[in-house]
Amino acid sequence: MVDRSAIGRNFTPVTAHVEPGRLRYFCDTIGENNPIYRDAQAARAEGYAAIPVPPTYLFCLEMMDAENPFEFLTELDIDLARVLHGEQGFTYHVPAVVGDTLTFRSRVTDVTEKKGGAMTLIAVVTDVTRQDGVHLAGMTRTVVVRNPKAAST
Amino acid sequence: MTQTASRSVGDRVVHKTFPPITRHTLALYCGASGDHNPIHVDLDFAKKAGFPDVFSHGMLVMAYLGQALTDAVRPKDIRTFSTRFAAITQLGARLTCEGHVTELIEYDSEPCMKIALVAKDEAGEAKLLGEAIVAR
């Protein structure tokens, strides 16, 4: 079971590309029809260098381009079937746009047990930087692990 | 597109409804998001994990909530966007996303507003509770 010794653990940085086709597929899937997310001209008219990404798409980019998207779970020996997403947050500094290459660096910042050990909450912080070194955004997430019941004696 | 006009505390600035979440939506979202956790598409896997059926990715619901937000304010004005996943979103859920201005604040020396966000299903059960800080 994961414990507080995991705090401070870093994971392999992920480099991801903001590709127009994948972004369009994401927009199609969620029914996103705002022209700034679909039309480069509309995006430029709003002051973007290219089509920007919707607010949650950074989370997807990290998973899509990770060699092992569940590295965090395998490294901490957590069963994927026992995991739920507890919280997710984004802090935006600069918009990510089509053509950007982004690097995601994640680390565990907290591990807490809840409900007498029935659940473990793991907090992970991710820094997102652009190809030119600009700190583009930050992400925070809390993962909930439903722990197996201890064998009764 | 909607400009971020001056808003007051209590204003409902975000409101959007979405079509029911189908198995097809979840399959597409797996590919669109890179989140291939089988618990969202493979009924056998979901049952083995103790769930009666597959269920939505929390991040799909957050994507809807984000869409409702960017329909209402200029995307480039959004400084932070966060949510707590309060309950599992079941297949067939028809979501309504809403947001109210709760506070006018300074954030990083910039005039901003805090918007409380919620994604509810057709029974009114809150699935996601969130907050955004948006420049005004």
Q: Is the pLDDT of residue B5 over 60?
A: no
Among the partner residues B33, B38, B79, nearest to A60 by beta-carbon distance: B33
Mean pLDDT for B76-91 is: 97
**Which residues of chain B lie closer than 8 angstroms to A63, CB-CB?**
33-35
User: What are A116's two structure tokens?
Assistant: 């007498």
Q: Which regions of chain A does DSSP assign to beta strands (E)? A: 14-17, 83-92, 101-114, 119-130, 135-146
Residue B33 to chain A, least CA–CA distance (Å): 5
> Whole-angstrom Cα distance, residue A87 to residue A109?
14
**Which residues of chain A lie closer than 8 angstroms to B59, CB-CB?**
56, 59-60, 85, 88
* Contact residues, B window 13-32, toward A, CB-based 8 Å cutoff: 18-19, 25, 28-29, 31-32
Q: Is the pLDDT of residue A152 over 80?
A: no
Cβ-based neighbour number of residue A81 at 10 Å: 15
**Domain extent at residue A64:** 4-146
Confidence class for position A149, pLDDT limits 50, 70, 90: confident
> Whole-angstrom Cα distance, residue A115 to residue B85?
17
Q: Is the pLDDT of residue B79 over 80?
A: yes
pTM summary value: 0.95
Residue B20 to chain A, least CA–CA distance (Å): 11
Domain boundaries, chain B: 12-21+58-135
**What does the pLDDT read at residue B1?**
46
Q: Is the pLDDT of residue A94 over 80?
A: yes
CATH number of B12-21+58-135: 3.10.129.10
Number of domains forming the structure of chain A: 1
Radius of gyration of chain A (CA): 18
**Which residues of chain B lie closer than 8 angstroms to A57, CB-CB?**
63
- Among candidate residues A64, A65, A61, the one with its CA nearest the CA of residue A139: A61
**Which residues of chain A lie closer than 8 angstroms to B32, CB-CB?**
22, 25-26, 28-30, 60
User: What are A120's two structure tokens?
Assistant: 């473990």
> Whole-angstrom Cα distance, residue B105 to residue B112?
5
Interval B107-119: pLDDT, tens: 999 999 999 999 9
B89 touches chain A (CB under 8 A): no
CATH number at residue A44: 3.10.129.10
A139: closest chain B residue by CA: B82
